[in-house]
């Protein structure tokens, strides 16, 4: 039953502009995610070029993001500056990267106290308005202001038929108040933060850059894409693309082992956080990367899964199902798809661990030679067993050598086993809480035969049965099988 609001008692509880607008600062952006949010708007406005710039001037340092998108007229610009410019429930076009009608404001205020928005629509004069946090604080009014700005900026759009300039000044979160221009330490900190932005852009917007739908320039230089999947490397394994319900897909990649790609490619592929931290899901929303290397709470990052990267593509119609946040840096798969995603990830992870251990045993198709592992991992019940591959060429050659130079052959065999013990694989299995079986536990025939052999030779050398038992109980691996030794007369 719907409520009739007309006859109800009411009292106003409007937000205080001053405290509300300061609260916008605390949404949790960092500099890179804030800049990416502004770039989202430029891409949604169909920009073909986006220019990121920063200028160090101590306290008066400035960050600008200029685009050649369709721009805004005065009314549209005021609307764009309004917090909650659009209803999150509104249907957006497929290419629109926005959702909440907030990003421009929240991203900007997270970094600066003054946001200047200047825009020009085709055949219109440029217009600008300013959000000044100090003004809002002092007056408590939700009002934009306009004071003169440098001619350089007024003319920033002169060369273009349309476009938008976002300007951040009073960057109090990046440059502490009262910082002089000649403060070298502060300058260095500022520049190193700017450097991270470029990498973040190269990653976040790599698909737009790759398909050439947009060029992004940082300080005048075009940014090249950083693709997390090394999809062009022949040694990369690509798994099938599966649908996750409607309008979402998942596609796994196992990146090549270090030994299979040039060193600089391997180094570059480690990305902004290093190989181990860049494993996991890469969640895209309309081709824009939101999450880079995150197991979505399903697994922990581990060394041996570092080659696994899984692409998830979402359409913006799924924003509420996947609980996308304002910063576009959180996504939670709906409960009904979690198991499917987890089981897909498990398949990719097991392929990934194979490549990690066997140095990319999957050879390129050019080379049909089959890979010869020395150790083979077998699953027996719920335990894992590691056995030496009897068909390995070296083992076969050693068998031949036994007939000619037995001592040398045995020494070779032992050295081979010592040198190649599959410690890494055992470690991986154990860290996954698997039990490692010993071959003797599965098949004790050889164990029994060896005991028999020792008993016979020791008896011949004059030892009593009791003495032999004591000897065996103090000898690996027989000390693990006391019952067998107790009853060895039955053997």
Ligand X SMILES: Nc1ncnc2c1ncn2[C@@H]1O[C@H](COP(=O)(O)OP(=O)(O)OP(=O)(O)O)[C@@H](O)[C@H]1O
Question: In DSSP terms, which residues pair with 294 in a beta bridge?
Answer: 281
What is the C-alpha to C-alpha distance for residues 123 and 100, in angstroms, rounded to an integer? 29
Closer residue to ligand X (CB): 27 or 310? 27
- Give the residue from 130, 104, 102, 116 showing the smallest Cα distance to 168: 116
From the list 45, 112, 278, 355, which residue makes contact with ligand X (rule: CB under 6 A)?
45
What is the C-alpha to C-alpha distance for residues 413 and 193, in angstroms, rounded to an integer? 56
At 402, list the tokens: 């036994």
* Contact call for residue 105 and ligand X (CB under 6 A): yes
| Range 242-261, binding ligand X (CB under 6 A) | none
Instruction: Count the site residues for ligand X by CB under 6 A.
Output: 21
* Contact call for residue 99 and ligand X (CB under 6 A): yes
Strand stretches in 170-276, DSSP E: 215-218, 221-222, 237-243, 248-254
Q: Where are the alpha helices (H) located in 164-241, listed in sequence order?
A: 184-204, 206-210
Distance in Å, CB of 26 to Mg ion, minimum: 18
Q: 66 by DSSP, 3-state: which?
A: strand
What is the C-alpha to C-alpha distance for residues 198 and 193, in angstroms, rounded to an integer? 9
Asked if residue 315 lies in contact with residue 284, where contact means CB atoms within 8 angstroms, the answer is no
At 103, list the tokens: 């990003």
* Contact call for residue 252 and Mg ion (CB under 5 A): no
Asked if residue 238 lies in contact with residue 311, where contact means CB atoms within 8 angstroms, the answer is no
User: What does the longest C-alpha to C-alpha distance in the chain come to?
Assistant: 111
Asked if residue 328 lies in contact with residue 232, where contact means CB atoms within 8 angstroms, the answer is no
Asked if residue 165 lies in contact with residue 156, where contact means CB atoms within 8 angstroms, the answer is yes
Closer residue to Mg ion (CB): 98 or 286? 98
At 5, list the tokens: 């609001």
Distance in Å, CB of 53 to ligand X, minimum: 15
Distance in Å, CB of 128 to ligand X, minimum: 13
Question: In DSSP terms, which residues pair with 127 in a beta bridge?
Answer: 119
310 binds, among Mg ion, ligand X, none (CB under 5 to 8 A by kind): none
From the list 103, 286, 293, 422, which residue makes contact with Mg ion (rule: CB under 5 A)?
103
Give, for 43, the enclosing helix (H) or strand (E).
Answer: helix 31-44
At 227, list the tokens: 């693709």
Q: 387 by DSSP, 3-state: which?
A: strand
From the list 21, 39, 41, 294, which residue makes contact with Mg ion (rule: CB under 5 A)?
41
Sole window of 96-104, 294-302, 399-407, 447-455 interacting with ligand X (rule: CB under 6 A): 96-104
Distance in Å, CB of 114 to ligand X, minimum: 16
What is the C-alpha to C-alpha distance for residues 163 and 73, in angstroms, rounded to an integer? 10
Sole window of 97-105, 201-209, 372-380, 451-459 interacting with Mg ion (rule: CB under 5 A): 97-105
* Contact call for residue 33 and ligand X (CB under 6 A): no
From the list 51, 54, 69, 255, which residue makes contact with ligand X (rule: CB under 6 A)?
69
* Contact call for residue 198 and ligand X (CB under 6 A): no
* Contact call for residue 86 and ligand X (CB under 6 A): yes
Residues 6+ apart with CB under 8 A from 286: 94, 95, 96, 97, 314, 315, 316
Instruction: Count the site residues for Mg ion by CB under 5 A.
Output: 3
At 123, list the tokens: 């055949």
* Contact call for residue 112 and ligand X (CB under 6 A): no
The burial of 167, by beta-carbon neighbours within 10 Å (0-12 exposed, 13-18 middle, 19 or more buried), is given as: buried
**Number of residues in the chain:** 491
From the list 17, 20, 78, 85, which residue makes contact with ligand X (rule: CB under 6 A)?
85
Asked if residue 292 lies in contact with residue 271, where contact means CB atoms within 8 angstroms, the answer is yes
Distance in Å, CB of 144 to ligand X, minimum: 13
* Contact call for residue 204 and ligand X (CB under 6 A): no
Distance in Å, CB of 163 to ligand X, minimum: 8
* Contact call for residue 80 and ligand X (CB under 6 A): yes
72 binds, among Mg ion, ligand X, none (CB under 5 to 8 A by kind): ligand X
52 binds, among ligand X, Mg ion, none (CB under 5 to 8 A by kind): none
* Contact call for residue 72 and ligand X (CB under 6 A): yes
Closer residue to ligand X (CB): 105 or 251? 105
Closer residue to ligand X (CB): 30 or 340? 30
* Contact call for residue 98 and Mg ion (CB under 5 A): yes
Closer residue to ligand X (CB): 302 or 325? 325
What is the C-alpha to C-alpha distance for residues 145 and 114, in angstroms, rounded to an integer? 10
Sole window of 41-49, 53-61, 228-236, 289-297 interacting with ligand X (rule: CB under 6 A): 41-49
Distance in Å, CB of 211 to ligand X, minimum: 20
| Range 387-446, binding ligand X (CB under 6 A) | none
What is the C-alpha to C-alpha distance for residues 92 and 89, in angstroms, rounded to an integer? 9
**x/- binding map, residues 321-360, to ligand X, per CB under 6 A?**
-----x----------------------------------
* Contact call for residue 306 and ligand X (CB under 6 A): no
Closer residue to ligand X (CB): 108 or 425? 108
Residue ranges in contact with ligand X by CB under 6 A: 37, 41-42, 45, 67, 69, 71-72, 80, 85-86, 98-105, 164, 326
Residue ranges in contact with Mg ion by CB under 5 A: 41, 98, 103
């Amino acid at each position: 039953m719907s409520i009739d609001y007309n006859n109800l008692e009411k009292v106003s509880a409007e937000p205080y502009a001053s405290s509300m607008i300061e609260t916008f600062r605390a949404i949790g952006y960092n500099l890179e995610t804030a800049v990416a949010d502004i770039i989202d708007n430029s891409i949604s406005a169909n920009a073909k070029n986006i220019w990121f710039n920063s200028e160090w001037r101590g306290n008066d340092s400035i960050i600008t993001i200029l685009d050649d998108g369709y721009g805004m007229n005065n009314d549209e610009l005021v609307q764009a500056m309004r917090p909650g410019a659009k209803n999150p429930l509104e249907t957006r076009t497929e290419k629109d990267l926005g959702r909440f009608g907030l990003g421009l404001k929240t991203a900007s205020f997270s970094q600066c106290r003054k946001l200047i928005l200047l825009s020009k629509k085709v055949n219109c004069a440029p217009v600008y308005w300013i959000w000044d946090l100090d003004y809002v604080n002092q007056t408590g009014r939700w009002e934009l202001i306009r004071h003169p700005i440098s001619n350089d900026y007024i003319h920033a759009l002169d060369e273009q038929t349309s476009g938008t300039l976002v300007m951040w000044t009073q960057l109090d979160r990046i440059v502490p108040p009262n910082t002089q221009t000649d403060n070298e330490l502060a300058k260095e900190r500022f520049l190193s933060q700017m450097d991270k932005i470029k990498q973040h852009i190269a990653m976040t917007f790599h698909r737009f850059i790759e398909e050439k739908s947009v060029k992004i320039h940082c300080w005048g230089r075009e940014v090249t894409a950083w693709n997390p999947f090394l999809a062009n490397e022949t040694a990369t394994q690509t798994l099938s693309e599966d649908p996750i319900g409607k309008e979402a897909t998942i596609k796994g990649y196992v990146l090549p082992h270090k030994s299979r790609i040039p060193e600089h490619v391997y180094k570059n592929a480690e990305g902004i956080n290093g190989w181990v931290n860049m494993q996991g899901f890469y969640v895209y929303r309309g081709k824009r990367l939101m999450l880079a290397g995150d197991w979505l709470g399903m697994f922990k990052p581990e060394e041996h899964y570092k080659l696994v990267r899984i692409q998830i593509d979402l359409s913006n119609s799924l924003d509420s199902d996947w609980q996308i946040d304002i910063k576009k840096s959180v996504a939670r798969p709906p409960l009904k798809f979690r198991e499917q995603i987890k089981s897909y990830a498990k398949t990719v992870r097991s392929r990934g661990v194979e490549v990690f251990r066997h140095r990319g045993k999957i050879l390129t198709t050019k080379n049909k030679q089959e890979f010869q592992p020395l150790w083979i991992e077998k699953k027996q019940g719920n335990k894992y067993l590691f056995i030496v591959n009897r068909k390995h060429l070296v083992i076969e050659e050693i068998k031949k050598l036994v007939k000619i130079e037995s001592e040398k052959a045995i020494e070779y065999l032992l050295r081979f086993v010592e040198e190649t013990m599959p410690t890494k694989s055992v470690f991986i299995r154990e860290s996954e809480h698997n039990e490692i079986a010993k071959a003797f536990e599965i098949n004790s025939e050889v164990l029994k035969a060896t005991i028999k052999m020792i008993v016979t030779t020791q008896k011949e050398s004059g030892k009593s049965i009791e003495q032999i038992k004591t000897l065996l109980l103090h000898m690996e691996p027989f000390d693990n099988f006391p019952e067998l030794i107790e009853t060895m007369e039955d053997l």
